[in-house]
């Protein structure tokens, strides 16, 4: 336990040495959510709510709602890519020094959660300046689920696709999923049926429900979101534990191979 | 030439990079084609039809090239200093790196343009090609400039995202009037005209060439500065 505490404390200290990161994590959501709401016209728009209802609102409110989700998705996704990529570099040394893979990964996950919390807090605070959701708790829960889902996706993408590929996947993924497919600003005002297959569907519908409905109708969508989080969390734990654990076993393998070599060649 | 090829191979070593360079612009152009007109109208812009779709190709090429330029500049900083010290010189290292990124940016821009031409009836395809390429080159320069100034991948890629979104939301078609700091507005003007069948006069071409050339010059200078020996 003390190992995890020490590694977590050092991990947070490492983040405090990066003031530009803090500026960007606060400045980006503030600027883009404020600007999106201010620049959008109040054109009337009917959108479909979870549970089958409809509501007449306007493009400005919808854009403000979805921009918070898009911003949280790509920012936390990118944090997931780069925080977890450092597992490959620094944390393999921790494992060699005696940490278990879980002890090495826990501080990274805590840093990811803290960064997600910061981005979420700023995004919700900025949204509150210009738009009041009907049910704050549901709206905030949906946005949190977007952040966790995309943070985990970013961690997986960083492990599989490299930094460049993962960066492309996170920005375009968030834009396509939450910015276009799930966005009630476009089409009929409701996502198409195939949109359910995307990770943004569940949390996107929870956000819409919280933003525009007084009563909660998105139980199925919430369950779907939680299922995504559980599956992605398990996948991240397996992939990253293997990344760290393989490096731990490598010297022993090399020693065994070197030990066997004379017998085989004899 | 050999150096450019080696630097290009280095970027393509990660799995899926080439696939993503082609697939991401194509998927984005196809998906955004149907909604950009609605989005522009909500933002007080005037884009409709094929002109709106054209802009999606420019944006896709721009973001791909921006991140490419950033990672090209930042991921190899230590190695490039050693190459420059070993006799290659910072200018030649910078030229090879930027040429390698440009090669990959042309692939991404080509993929975006093919998706655009397949899905819409762009009135002036060659004008559209030049404009999409200009988007890619301007953002390549932005990425290289940021990569020369910021070494951390997270902060740098967030800075590229910041410039990109600022430009996108303030550019022609998306705002009632394009902001002066929208760096790709000349490329966007030509691209929108190409998509809607409008003419682009000589002065606009010259302005586009000046903006693109200026961006590459600034990025080259920053890269040379970052690659030179501090010993």
For residues B66 and A259, give the distance between their C-alpha atoms in angstroms, rounded to a whole number: 50
In this predicted structure, what is the pLDDT of residue A266? 36
Higher pLDDT, A251 or B197: B197
Nearest one of A212, A153, A158 to A177, comparing CA atoms: A153
Cβ atoms within 10 A of the Cβ of B9, count? Answer: 10
Helix/strand number for chain B, H first, E second: 10, 0
Q: Which of residues 21-60 of A touch B (CB under 8 A)?
A: 21, 24-25, 27-28, 31-32, 35-36, 39-41, 43, 59-60
Closest CA to A156 of A173, A144, A176, A142: A173
Q: Are A64 and A81 in contact (CB under 8 A)?
A: no
Which residue has 């910015």 as its token pair? Answer: A179
User: With bands split at pLDDT 50, 70 and 90, how would you rate the model's confidence at A232?
Assistant: very high
What DSSP assignment string belongs to A10-26? HHHHHHHT-HHHHHHHH
**What is the Cα–Cα distance from A163 to B71, expressed in whole angstroms?**
8
Taking 70 as the threshold, does the pLDDT of residue A178 lie above it?
yes
pLDDT of residue B150: 87
Is residue A172 within 8 angstroms of chain B, CB to CB?
Answer: yes
Structural domain boundaries enclosing A59: 2-265
Domain with B141, as residue range(s), is 2-227
CB proximity list for B25: less than 8 A, separation 6 or greater:
B57, B60, B61, B64, B108, B109, B111, B112, B115
Q: What pLDDT is attached to residue B195?
A: 79
pLDDT of residue B180: 79
Comparing CA positions, the residue from A197, A112, A119, A115 lying closest to residue A156 is A112
Q: What angle do CA A124, A126, A132 make, to 5 degrees?
A: 70
**In the predicted structure, residue A85 carries a pLDDT above the cut 50:** yes
Query: Which of A33, A89, A115, A167 to mutate to probe the B interface, most B CBs <10 Å?
Result: A167
For chain B, the domain total comes to: 1
Interface of B with A (CB under 8 A): 11, 14-17, 20-21, 24, 27-28, 31-32, 34-35, 38-39, 41-44, 60, 63-64, 67-68, 71, 75, 150, 152-155, 157-159, 161-162, 165-166, 169, 175
What pLDDT sits at residue A264? Answer: 45
Q: How far apart are CA A88 and CA A93, in angstroms?
A: 9
Provide mean pLDDT across the span A145-163.
Answer: 88
Full-model pTM? 0.84
Q: What is the pLDDT of residue B46?
A: 67
Return d(Cα A123, Cα A36) in angstroms, integer: 12
Q: For B167, which residue in chain A has the nearest alpha carbon?
A: A32
pLDDT in tens, chain B (231 residues): 666 777 677 666 666 777 878 888 888 888 887 787 778 777 776 666 667 778 888 888 898 889 888 888 886 666 666 776 676 677 777 777 788 888 888 888 888 888 888 877 777 888 888 999 999 999 999 998 998 888 888 888 889 988 998 888 787 777 767 777 888 888 888 888 887 777 788 888 999 999 999 998 998 888 788 776 544
- pLDDT per residue over A29-69, tens digit each? 888 888 888 888 888 888 889 988 888 988 888 988 899 99
d(CA B56, CA B111): 12
Q: Are A151 and A72 in contact (CB under 8 A)?
A: no
For the cut 60, the answer to whether the pLDDT of residue A80 exceeds it is yes
pLDDT > 50? residue A263: no
Instruction: Give me A242's structure tokens.
Output: 């293997």
Rounded to an integer, what distance in angstroms lies between the CA atom of residue A228 and that of residue A132? 28
Asked if the C-beta of A169 comes within 8 angstroms of chain B's C-beta atoms, the answer is: yes
Could you report the per-residue pLDDT of A188-229, keeping only the tens digit for each? 888 998 999 999 999 999 999 999 999 999 999 999 999 999
8 Å CB contact between B47 and B34: no
What percentage of residues in chain A have a pLDDT greater than 70?
Answer: 89
Give the pLDDT confidence score for residue A253 in this predicted structure: 61
Which residues have a Cβ under 8 Å from the Cβ of A247 and sit 6 or more positions away?
A92, A95, A96
d(CA B217, CA B186): 17
Per the structure, the count of domains in chain A is: 1
How far is the C-alpha of A50 from the C-alpha of A47, rounded, in Å? 10
The token pair at A66 is 């979805």
pLDDT for residue A260: 62
pLDDT at A256: 65
> Can you give the pLDDT at residue B98?
80
User: What is the pLDDT confidence band of residue A5, given thresholds at 50, 70 and 90?
Assistant: confident
CB A187 to CB B150 under 8 A? no
pLDDT attached to residue A252: 60
Question: Are the C-beta atoms of A105 and B176 separated by less than 8 Å?
Answer: no
pLDDT above 90 covers what percent of chain A? 30
CA angle B38, A215, A149 (to 5 degrees): 60
Neighbour tally for A250: CB within 10 Å? 12
Q: Which 3 state secondary structure label does DSSP give B189?
A: helix
Q: Which residue has the tokens 């979101």?
A: A225
Contact B27, A176 (CB under 8 A): yes
| Residue of chain A whose Cα is closest to the Cα of B44 | A41
Radius of gyration of the CA atoms of chain B, in A: 18
- Most distant CA atoms of chain B, gap in Å: 56
pLDDT at A262: 53
Q: What is the DSSP string of A92-148?
A: HHHHHTT--HHHHHHHHHHHHHHHHHHHHHHHHHHHHHH---S-HHHHHHHHHHHHH
In the prediction, which pLDDT does B49 show?
Answer: 65
């Amino acid at each position: 336990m003390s190992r995890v505490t020490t590694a977590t404390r050092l991990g947070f200290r490492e983040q405090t040495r990066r003031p530009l990161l803090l500026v960007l994590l606060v400045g980006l959501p503030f600027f883009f959510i404020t600007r999106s709401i201010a620049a959008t016209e109040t054109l009337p728009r009917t959108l479909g709510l979870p549970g089958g209802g409809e509501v007449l609102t306007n493009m400005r409110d919808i854009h403000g709602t979805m921009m918070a989700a898009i911003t949280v998705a790509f920012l936390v996704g990118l944090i997931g890519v780069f925080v977890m990529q450092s597992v490959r570099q620094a944390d393999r040394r921790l494992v060699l020094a005696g940490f278990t893979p879980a002890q090495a990964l826990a501080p990274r996950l805590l840093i990811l959660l803290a960064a997600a919390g910061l981005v979420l807090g700023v995004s919700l605070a900025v949204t509150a300046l210009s738009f009041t959701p009907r049910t704050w708790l549901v709206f905030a829960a949906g946005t949190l689920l977007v952040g966790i889902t995309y943070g985990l996706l970013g961690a997986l993408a960083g492990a599989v696709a490299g930094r460049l590929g993962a960066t492309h996947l996170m920005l375009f993924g968030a834009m396509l999923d939450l910015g276009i497919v799930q966005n009630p600003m476009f089409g009929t005002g409701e996502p198409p049926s195939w949109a359910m297959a995307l990770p943004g569907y569940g949390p996107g519908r929870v956000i819409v429900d919280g933003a525009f409905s007084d009563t909660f109708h998105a139980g199925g969508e919430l369950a779907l979101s939680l299922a995504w989080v559980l599956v992605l969390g398990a996948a991240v734990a397996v992939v990253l534990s293997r990344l760290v654990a393989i490096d731990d076993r490598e010297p022993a393998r090399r020693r065994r191979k070197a030990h066997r070599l004379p017998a085989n060649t004899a | 030439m050999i150096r450019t090829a080696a630097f290009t191979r280095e970027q393509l070593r990660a799995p899926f990079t080439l696939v993503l360079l082609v697939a991401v612009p194509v998927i984005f152009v196809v998906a955004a084609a149907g909604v950009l007109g609605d989005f522009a109208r909500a933002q007080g812009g005037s884009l409709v039809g094929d002109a709106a779709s054209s802009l999606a190709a420019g944006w896709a090429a721009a973001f791909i090239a921006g991140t490419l330029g950033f990672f090209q500049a930042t991921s190899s900083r230590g190695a490039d200093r050693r190459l420059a010290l070993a006799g290659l010189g910072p200018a030649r290292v910078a030229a090879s790196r930027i040429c390698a990124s440009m090669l990959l940016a042309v692939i991404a821009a080509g993929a975006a343009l093919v998706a655009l031409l397949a899905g819409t009836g762009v009135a002036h395809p060659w004008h559209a090609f030049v404009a999409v390429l200009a988007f890619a080159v301007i953002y390549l320069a932005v990425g290289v400039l940021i990569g020369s100034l910021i070494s951390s991948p997270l902060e740098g890629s967030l800075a590229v995202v910041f410039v990109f979104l600022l430009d996108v939301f303030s550019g022609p078609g998306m705002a009632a009037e394009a902001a002066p700091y929208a760096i790709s507005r000349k490329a966007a003007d030509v691209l929108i005209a190409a998509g809607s069948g409008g003419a682009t006069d000589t002065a606009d071409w010259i302005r586009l060439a000046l903006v693109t050339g200026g961006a590459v010059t600034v990025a080259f200078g920053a890269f040379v500065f970052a690659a030179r020996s501090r010993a």
